[in-house]
Amino acid sequence: RLNKGECSTQAGVNFIDIISHYTRVSDHAMNLAEKVFAEQI
């Protein structure tokens, strides 16, 4: 896509940043879910 001019380098960097942030959010959500589940047992 980059070679075809369909996207830019900056767009790729932004995409990787967004994916990284979503990964951190999901890690935090999983930690919270595990804590809530452990408290219910």
For residue 25, CA distances in Å to 3, 4, 18, 30 come to 32, 33, 11, 9
Quick check: 2 pLDDT over 80? no
Q: ∠ CA 36-21-24 to the nearest 5 degrees?
A: 30
- Alpha-carbon distance of 13 to 29, in angstroms, equals 24
- 15-28 tens-digit pLDDT: 999 999 999 999 99
- Alpha-carbon distance of 7 to 5, in angstroms, equals 5
Does the pTM surpass 0.85? The reply is: no
Tokens of 33: 């879910």
